């Protein structure tokens, strides 16, 4: 019985987080907010490219007139900020640079949402259609609402199923870490 319960948890938690992300449906917003992901040098990595392809499709379908790309440098990175890599990709696929706003200071999801919210608020933008990986979307939407951003979600596509499972499991402690960091930073909001 314990084995069955353990198997249900091991399979169910990642499946549940991913399914929750996939259940989100796009709605019109002031901007599409794309959260950063790993890059490969100066090019988008697979997850980042899936997020960008989804954002481009939403933009071209008229869900929002602007795209906010969010992601800064990380200690282990030596290249351009994730937001710069994403903006360059968007330019290459025909999105005019005037339609792209860059947030280049963040290093994690909490900062993505907090710093993007500040930029959007200063520009008079109140709502966002968040684009990220399916397993990441529930936490990203929760954090967006915590910082005061009116947000809806739209999951990007899938990658390697093993990675989806591993990253979905990572979301469990990430919720707790995000909550603690948000409590620490929230006085800055």
In order, the DSSP letters of 109-175 are HHHHHHHHHHHHHHTT--EEEEEE-TTTHHHHHHHHHHHT-EEEEEE-----HHHHHHHHHHHHHHH
Q: What local confidence, expressed as pLDDT, does residue 135 receive?
A: 83
Q: What local confidence, expressed as pLDDT, does residue 17 receive?
A: 47
Q: What local confidence, expressed as pLDDT, does residue 165 receive?
A: 59
Confidence of residue 155 (pLDDT cuts 50, 70, 90): confident
CA 159 vs. chain centroid, Å, equals 15
* Higher per-residue confidence, 111 vs 164: 111
Phi and psi dihedrals of 96, rounded to 5?
-60, 135
Q: What local confidence, expressed as pLDDT, does residue 118 receive?
A: 95
8 A C-beta contact, residue 106 and residue 68: no
* Higher per-residue confidence, 107 vs 168: 107
Phi and psi dihedrals of 110, rounded to 5?
-60, -50
Per-residue pLDDT, averaged over 66-93, amounts to 87
Range of the domain at 44: 2-188
Q: What local confidence, expressed as pLDDT, does residue 5 receive?
A: 44
Structure tokens at 145: 């609402």
The span from the CA of 2 to the CA of 143, in Å, is: 34
- Given a cut of 70, whether residue 23 has pLDDT beyond it is no
Q: What local confidence, expressed as pLDDT, does residue 65 receive?
A: 98
- Check which CATH number belongs to the domain holding 120 and give it: 3.40.50.620
Give the total number of structural domains in the chain. 1
Phi and psi dihedrals of 69, rounded to 5?
-105, 130
Task: Kindly give the residue spans of alpha helices, DSSP state H, lying in 61-104.
Answer: 82-92
Q: Tell me what the pLDDT averaged over the chain comes to.
A: 83
Q: What local confidence, expressed as pLDDT, does residue 1 receive?
A: 55
- Given a cut of 60, whether residue 166 has pLDDT beyond it is yes
Per-residue pLDDT, averaged over 115-144, amounts to 94
CA 181 vs. chain centroid, Å, equals 17
For 29-49, write each residue's pLDDT tens digit: 999 999 999 888 889 999 999
- Given a cut of 50, whether residue 110 has pLDDT beyond it is yes
Q: What local confidence, expressed as pLDDT, does residue 25 receive?
A: 79
């Amino acid at each position: 019985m314990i084995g069955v319960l353990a198997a249900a948890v091991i399979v169910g938690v990642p499946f549940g987080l991913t399914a929750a992300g996939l259940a989100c449906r796009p709605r019109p917003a002031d901007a599409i907010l794309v959260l950063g992901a790993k890059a490969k040098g100066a090019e988008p990595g697979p997850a980042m490219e899936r997020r960008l392809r989804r954002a481009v499709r939403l933009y071209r379908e008229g869900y929002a007139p602007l795209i906010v790309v969010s992601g800064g440098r990380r200690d282990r990175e030596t290249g351009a900020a994730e937001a710069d890599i994403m903006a360059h990709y968007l330019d290459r696929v025909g999105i005019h640079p005037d339609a792209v706003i860059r947030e280049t200071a963040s290093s994690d999801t909490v900062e993505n949402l907090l710093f993007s919210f500040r930029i959007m608020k200063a520009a008079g933008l109140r709502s966002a259609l968040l684009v990220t990986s399916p397993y990441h979307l529930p936490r990203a939407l929760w954090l967006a609402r915590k910082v005061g951003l009116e947000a809806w979600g739209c999951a990007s596509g899938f990658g390697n199923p093993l990675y989806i499972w591993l990253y979905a499991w990572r979301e469990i402690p990430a919720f707790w870490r995000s909550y603690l960091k948000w409590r620490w930073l929230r006085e800055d909001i």
